[in-house]
Structure 1
């Protein structure tokens, strides 16, 4: 009987989490299109990460997820778009430089350096919105903090990449999950491991001060 109750409890929790992800995904799409796609992607994405951060800290889910999402996405709108636009611009610039390097310059050393910068910028992207949600900083300092986390949190960064790859494999074999919540599914591993990296860095800072 205890085993049956345990299975039922786990099944209920999984089902509840999947339903929560479905709601988050629907709200994500709603606000992305509400803000004209590009202006909606970053604040809506930050809001889902915030929902995961709250769950990691054992906070109760809001009584009305729709109302909560609306409040947070509007709060995130300006700063998340500023950070997202700056990061997207940086990635686009580095990608164009890579194309120019491979087509015209054809110098292996320069190409390797640009590729390294591009990969680093991609990894910084994994930390940028989590850092924004955790701290109240200037725009430049958000990037500095994201770079710092990327440098000192190598295991968490690797785990994020593996988590995203694993999610991709699972969604490839279970495409029904794409309908349920592919956006939250992809954001979950990066949210979890960035949260761990942030907590670890804060612990190191406290130890350094003591």
Structure 2
């Protein structure tokens, strides 16, 4: 067997990773269609998230087929319920934004509403990792994502910059959206969301350790 070194080694690694992303994109499209689009989108997105999350935490060479379809079937109903909740929140905020812009036209109210929308969008970005990382109730998923969004705004900025770079990449290479668009778009979102979860967990552990450490007063 011929050893691959230097530039060709990294080219091979990138090609192998890109191939897995393409497979994941195909699975997402197929599973979304199997759920008739409307009901397939949520579990397909959660299943895709779970695979990428396992790449980060368990093994970059896990079985995509096994993990994807297991998560898709297991969370079909739950994912649709939670995504319906996010859709209701999004619709409510959109209506408020429309009313504020069209009728109220108050700068301060409009600014507060834009901040609230930004926090909710950021919370949804974190929610995907929260869903696959923790076992929580439906309400707690929303709460945990919201708290992480407030605690880790820098990761939200990093997500925004990553999406901006991808936007220009898709403009110059539009074929990417057809072959790897969904997982490639979610990849930086999930990576920075994962880092945000780790940071929040580490801070929580430090606080708990300090609370358990006995304090001694000076004599």
TM-score, scaled to structure 2: 0.89
User: How many equivalent pairs are there?
Assistant: 207
The yes-or-no answer on 1:6 pairing with 2:6 is: yes
Asked if the contact 1:18/1:180 (under 8 Å) is kept, the reply is no
State the shift of 1:147 in Å. Answer: 1.1
Helix, strand or coil at the partner of 2:5: helix
The yes-or-no answer on 1:46 pairing with 2:49 is: no
Asked if the contact 2:159/2:192 (under 8 Å) is kept, the reply is yes
State the shift of 1:102 in Å. Answer: 1.5
User: Residue 119 of structure 2 corresponds to which residue in structure 1?
Assistant: 120
User: Residue 199 of structure 2 corresponds to which residue in structure 1?
Assistant: 200
User: Residue 133 of structure 1 corresponds to which residue in structure 2?
Assistant: 132
**Separation (CA, whole Å) in 2 of partners of 1:60 and 1:100:** 47
Helix, strand or coil at the partner of 1:136: coil
Residue by residue over 1:172-198, the C-alpha shift from the partner in whole angstroms, topping out at 9 and shown as x without a partner, is 112232232010110000010001111
User: Residue 30 of structure 1 corresponds to which residue in structure 2?
Assistant: 30
Unaligned runs of 5+ in 1: none
Asked if the contact 1:43/1:77 (under 8 Å) is kept, the reply is yes
State the shift of 1:38 in Å. Answer: 1.7
1:152-163 correspondence runs (5 A): 152-163=151-162
State the shift of 1:54 in Å. Answer: 0.8
**Separation (CA, whole Å) in 2 of partners of 1:30 and 1:107:** 46
Asked if the contact 2:122/2:156 (under 8 Å) is kept, the reply is yes
Helix, strand or coil at the partner of 1:36: coil
1:52-91 correspondence runs (5 A): 52-63=52-63, 65-91=64-90
User: What's the RMSD between the two structures over aligned residues?
Assistant: 1.7
Asked if the contact 2:51/2:67 (under 8 Å) is kept, the reply is no
Q: Greater Rg, structure 1 or structure 2?
A: 2
User: Residue 100 of structure 2 corresponds to which residue in structure 1?
Assistant: 101
Residue by residue over 1:137-185, the C-alpha shift from the partner in whole angstroms, topping out at 9 and shown as x without a partner, is 1111111111111111111111111111111111211223223201011
More helix by share: 1
Asked if the contact 1:32/1:40 (under 8 Å) is kept, the reply is yes
State the shift of 1:60 in Å. Answer: 4.9
**Separation (CA, whole Å) in 2 of partners of 1:124 and 1:68:** 25
Helix, strand or coil at the partner of 1:39: coil
TM-score, scaled to structure 1: 0.92
User: Residue 215 of structure 2 corresponds to which residue in structure 1?
Assistant: none
Asked if the contact 2:55/2:62 (under 8 Å) is kept, the reply is no
User: Residue 19 of structure 2 corresponds to which residue in structure 1?
Assistant: 19
**Separation (CA, whole Å) in 2 of partners of 1:120 and 1:182:** 25
The yes-or-no answer on 1:111 pairing with 2:122 is: no
Instruction: Return the structure number with greater relative CO, CA threshold 8 A, min gap 6.
Output: 1
User: Residue 182 of structure 2 corresponds to which residue in structure 1?
Assistant: 183
